[in-house]
Amino acid sequence: MRFLAKGLSIFVVLALFAVPATAQDMEPEPVEVELTDEEKEAIATAYVDLQELQAQYREEFADLQDPEEAQQVQQQFQQEQQGIIEDSGISLELYDQAIQATQTDAELRDELLALIEEEQEARNTEAEGGNA
């Protein structure tokens, strides 16, 4: 899941770390993907689930000193990421294509960001309601 990143930055920039080249060379290749409303909602839900998973692992990764243990934890993390996406009802390939498409498709990016924000707000409301 090379496209997972902190916060909503996943939708902002792909790899600006590339060696400077012409503007044409720096533009990401357009990826076109047709998504149903249900697939968009599944992607947004999976994205929020992945953020939560990343938060769970963040501290664990920071505390690791042993490279072998770090590799094991990384593999476990990646398996859980894949499980979250598959459990959402979409394929890993479709999720990857959708994330890639957000790099060049502003309409899709805005739509997914809105759905992600709705999902986050719903979870925050549920959490606050459960704590009251």
What is the per-residue pLDDT across 15-66, written as a single tens digit (0 to 9) for each? 222 334 444 456 667 888 999 999 999 999 999 999 999 999 988 888 888 9
Asked whether residue 50 is assigned to any structural domain, the reply reads: yes
At 15, is the secondary structure helix, strand, or coil? coil
Look at residue 89 and tell me if it is in a domain. yes
Domain presence at residue 46:
yes
Q: How many residues appear in the chain?
A: 132
Overall pTM > 0.75: no
Q: How many domains does the chain have?
A: 1
For 80-129, write each residue's pLDDT tens digit. 999 999 999 999 999 999 999 999 999 999 999 999 999 999 999 998 88
Q: Which amino acid is at 27?
A: E
Give the count of beta carbons closer than 10 Å to the beta carbon of residue 72: 12
> Domain residues for 71?
35-131
Does a structural domain hold residue 8?
no
| Residue 28 lies inside a defined structural domain of this protein | no
Is there a domain that residue 17 lies in?
no
CB 85 within 8 A of CB 51: no
Structural domain contains residue 92: yes
Residues 81, 1: contact at Cβ < 8 Å?
yes
From the number of C-beta atoms within 10 Å of its C-beta (0-12, 13-18, 19+), residue 120 rates as: middle
Pairwise CA distance, residues 71 & 26, whole Å = 32
Is residue 87 included in any domain, yes or no? yes
Q: Give the separation between CA 13 and CA 104, rounded to whole angstroms.
A: 10
